[in-house]
């Protein structure tokens, strides 16, 4: 696979698998490549003897990936306890139930197998196993002390959870959807096997892929970004613009999947370092309240947020315009930045992701709650946005996206 290695230190090549270590400041060992899943036994062995495998209700069973994981672990004498009850937008109550099951079975390592929901739930279960009390308190700032070792196996190119110390949960009582951020929930090892992503339905490829793109765009625009993060994010934006429509049209295109999977993991790394901004800041309340698909919520909000933002950070939009192939000749800077906004709209069209908040179930009567909840749960993301944004602008944006 040929791609930039500017930020990856390739320490060794084991057979056909790339083992990437010391990526920027992220202390994760990334095992990347088609077929790399089969390393799960040997990689887990260093961390435990009884693995708690966290996954969703159906997809990893249907595709046979769960059975393969159990088999590879068994070959290395690692017992497994499977928890297969993770929902999309995983709940704090699900994590609590799973953590007591883990303790009952005395598991010593946690494997998150699936998309972002499964990996995020796995992180929170590993964290809850050693930190007493309600996980919501830790999500709202209480400090943890440790976590069981976590191995992430991503089957989607979406959340980038395999590359960060974040895990998003929804509290079913308050509808707060917010990240736990803790250095203890970095996966020890992340397996990124593009082959596992090829069986996704096309609507999931589009929605999760757009989430990945959103991560890189947001980290690039973030006030808290820095030059090395900006360069990584730009590389991912360029790759996703080019290759996401290709895998959406042809999910068996292995080479394009490699690029998309790599860019997705970069998306996780960059939000870990720079944070997200307004799209995630405004989307979490939507999927927290209505259990909407995260990537679709982002798609509904993204164009209007870019329109609201591009004039205030024109230079950054011009840099994005370059990597997504916009020809600037004959255009003023402002026109080129606007072309960049339009290119995102075109991409959403190509991914059949032109949705509105109304189509996701949002009503005008929800808007005040969404604004209030965004200010409460996503304070950091809103203040990290490059353009100042108060309640009034949030309200106008939500209404414009209905």
381 neighbors 280 (Cβ within 8 angstroms) = yes
Residue 43 or 236 with smaller CB distance to Fe ion: 236
83 neighbors 52 (Cβ within 8 angstroms) = yes
> What's the min distance (Å) between Cβ of 374 and Fe ion?
15
Query: What does the alpha-carbon distance between residue 186 and residue 151 come to, in Å, rounded to a whole number?
Result: 9
> Which residue of the chain is nearest Fe ion when measured via CB?
211
Residue 299 or 326 with smaller CB distance to Fe ion: 299
Query: What does the alpha-carbon distance between residue 29 and residue 24 come to, in Å, rounded to a whole number?
Result: 12
Residue 211 or 296 with smaller CB distance to Fe ion: 211
Q: Any idea which residue has 């230190």 for tokens? A: 9
> What's the min distance (Å) between Cβ of 118 and Fe ion?
15
* Piece in contact with Fe ion (CB under 5 A), picked from 72-80, 207-215, 305-313, 352-360: 207-215
Q: Is 235 in the site for Fe ion (CB under 5 A)?
A: no
Q: Is 120 in the site for Fe ion (CB under 5 A)?
A: no
Rounded to the nearest 10 degrees, the angle between the axes of helix 333-350 and helix 294-309 is: 160
* Piece in contact with Fe ion (CB under 5 A), picked from 39-47, 203-211, 336-344, 350-358: 203-211
DSSP 8-state class, residue 91: B
Q: Is 211 in the site for Fe ion (CB under 5 A)?
A: yes
* Piece in contact with Fe ion (CB under 5 A), picked from 22-30, 69-77, 148-156, 206-214: 206-214
Interacting positions 260-279 with Fe ion (CB under 5 A):
none
Query: What does the alpha-carbon distance between residue 261 and residue 33 come to, in Å, rounded to a whole number?
Result: 9
Tell how far CA 1 is from the center of its chain.
23
Residue 19 or 212 with smaller CB distance to Fe ion: 212
97 neighbors 69 (Cβ within 8 angstroms) = no
Query: What does the alpha-carbon distance between residue 223 and residue 31 come to, in Å, rounded to a whole number?
Result: 31
Q: Is 164 in the site for Fe ion (CB under 5 A)?
A: no
The encoded tokens of residue 21 equal 């270590």
> What's the min distance (Å) between Cβ of 221 and Fe ion?
15
Residue count, binding to Fe ion (CB under 5 A)? 1
- Return residues touching Fe ion (CB under 5 A): 211
């Amino acid at each position: 696979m040929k791609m930039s290695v500017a930020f990856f230190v390739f320490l060794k090549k084991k057979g056909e698998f790339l083992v990437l270590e010391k990526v920027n400041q992220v202390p994760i060992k990334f095992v990347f490549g088609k077929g790399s899943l089969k390393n799960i036994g040997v990689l887990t062995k260093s961390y435990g003897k009884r693995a708690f495998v966290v996954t969703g209700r159906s997809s990893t069973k249907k595709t046979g990936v769960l059975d393969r994981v159990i088999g590879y672990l068994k070959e290395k004498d690692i017992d497994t306890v499977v928890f297969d009850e993770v929902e999309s937008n995983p709940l704090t109550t699900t994590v609590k139930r799973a953590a007591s099951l883990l303790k009952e079975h005395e598991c010593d390592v946690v494997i998150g197998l699936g998309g972002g929901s499964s990996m995020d739930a796995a992180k929170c279960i590993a964290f809850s196993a050693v930190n007493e009390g309600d996980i919501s308190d830790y999500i709202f700032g209480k400090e943890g002390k440790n976590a069981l070792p976590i191995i992430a196996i991503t089957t989607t190119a979406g959340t980038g959870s395999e590359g960060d110390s974040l895990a998003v949960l929804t509290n079913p009582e308050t509808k707060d959807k917010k990240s736990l951020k803790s250095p203890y929930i970095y996966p020890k090892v992340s397996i990124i096997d593009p082959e596992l992503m090829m069986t996704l339905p096309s609507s999931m490829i589009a929605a999760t892929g757009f989430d990945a793109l959103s991560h890189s765009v947001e980290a690039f625009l973030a006030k808290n970004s820095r030059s090395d993060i900006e360069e990584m994010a730009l590389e991912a934006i360029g790759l996703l613009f080019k290759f996401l429509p290709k895998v959406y049209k042809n999910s068996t295109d292995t080479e394009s999947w490699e690029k998309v999977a790599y860019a997705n993991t970069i998306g996780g790394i960059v939000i870990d370092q720079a944070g997200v901004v307004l799209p995630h800041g405004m989307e979490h309340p939507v999927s927290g309240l209505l259990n909407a698909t995260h990537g679709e919520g982002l798609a509904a909000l993204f164009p209007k947020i870019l329109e609201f933002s591009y004039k205030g950070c024109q230079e950054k939009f011009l840099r994005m315009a370059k990597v997504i192939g916009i020809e600037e000749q004959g255009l003023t800077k402002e026109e080129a930045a606007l072309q960049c906004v339009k290119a995102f709209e075109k991409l959403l069209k190509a991914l059949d992701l032109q949705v509105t908040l109304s189509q996701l179930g949002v009503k005008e009567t929800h808007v005040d709650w969404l604004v209030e909840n965004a200010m409460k749960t996503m304070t950091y993301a809103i203040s990290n946005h490059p353009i100042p944004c108060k309640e009034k602008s949030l309200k106008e944006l939500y209404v414009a996206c209905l």
